[in-house]
Structure 1
Amino acid sequence: MGHEGVREKARNDLRARFTALLHHITPALLVESFHALRHNAAAGVDGRTWREYETMLAQRVPILHREIHAGAYRAQPSRRVYIPKADGKLRPLGIAAIEDKIVQQAVVTVLTAIYEADFLGFSYGFRPGRSQHDALDALSMGIKGRMSTAI
């Protein structure tokens, strides 16, 4: 059962408990996760850009997969930088290595398949394919709908 199977199980059986998920982190999911990253992002803490890593993807994915499943994978320490905000304060930003981003994206994909089933239709925060603009559009439609029924 891939992450789509996990999604179906979570949707159809609300009492299901997912206790073993590591086997869902497959080489195919790692490749999919790599392609989901921003292609034009700045280099990670390891100095590698998306384009540079793409040239070694076929060689690195099996090794990365093996390290994850053997418990040997260790994320590299992120580099902390501070970006100035308009109000003069500084916003902390962590710069991760590209392989760490790939693993993080793969884990997000598996966990999203499970937890997305628990969200209500009007929930917009930090959900795939939904933004604050979508929430405002839904709110606007709800208000207009109530106003038209009140008239």
Structure 2
Amino acid sequence: MTQALDRVRKAARLKKKERFTALLHHITVDTLQMAFYALRRKAAPGVDGMTWQDYEADLEPRLRELHERVHRGAYRPQPSRRTYIPKADGKQRPLAIAALEDKIVQGATVMVLNAIYEGDFVGFSYGFRPGRGPHDALDALTVAITTRKVN
């Protein structure tokens, strides 16, 4: 987390009623780069056909250009590539695969918003939080049941 996002996180924790109205300046080239390196390297390419390795070949100029488009208001997400995954009951589940740049911008936005909202969650919240999942919730439940008196 960058120092600026750390300050946002602290402000959100200390001033619960504070409204954040200008957050775009926190999406920097560095934030976009962190979001890029957080992506899965072998993920399927979106409609643009761009793979992680192809994008990394010219990473710095591409991220600077993406940053400029985002801040100019010229960035437009591309339509997602639709694929279907078969389910056990014979039906199919639709899956949307976003273009690589869209994943980068989404990841950077998530970083900024997580800095604000992570402080609002209580310790036993596990859904859709970074570094937490259903297995962590089950582990906490097991500890609670085995160490405390329950009916």
**Smaller-chain TM-score bracket:** over 0.9
1:106-127: CA deviations, max 9, x gaps? 0001001111111110000000
Q: 2:18 aligns with which of 16, 34, 40?
A: 16
> Does 1:45 pair with 2:25?
no
For 1:46 and 1:14, locate their aligned partners in 2 and report how far apart those are by CA, in whole Å. 41
Number of aligned pairs? Answer: 149
Unaligned stretches of 5+ in structure 2? none
Tell me the residue number matched to 2:94: 92
Runs of at least 4 residues off by over 2 Å: none
For 2:38 and 2:26, locate their aligned partners in 1 and report how far apart those are by CA, in whole Å. 17
Identity %: 62
> Does 1:83 pair with 2:69?
no
One-letter identity of the residue aligned with 1:103: V
1:56-108: CA deviations, max 9, x gaps? 11111111011001100000011111110112121111111100000000000
One-letter identity of the residue aligned with 2:48: D
What TM-score comes out, normalization by structure 2 length?
Answer: 0.94
> Does 1:146 pair with 2:136?
no
For 2:71 and 2:25, locate their aligned partners in 1 and report how far apart those are by CA, in whole Å. 8
Tell me the residue number matched to 2:123: 121
Q: 2:31 aligns with which of 19, 29, 46?
A: 29
Tell me the residue number matched to 1:134: 136
Superposed CA RMSD in Å reads: 1.4
Shift of 1:44: 2.1
Unaligned stretches of 5+ in structure 1? none
Q: 1:108 aligns with which of 110, 117, 123?
A: 110
For 1:24 and 1:80, locate their aligned partners in 2 and report how far apart those are by CA, in whole Å. 31
For 1:102 and 1:2, locate their aligned partners in 2 and report how far apart those are by CA, in whole Å. 19
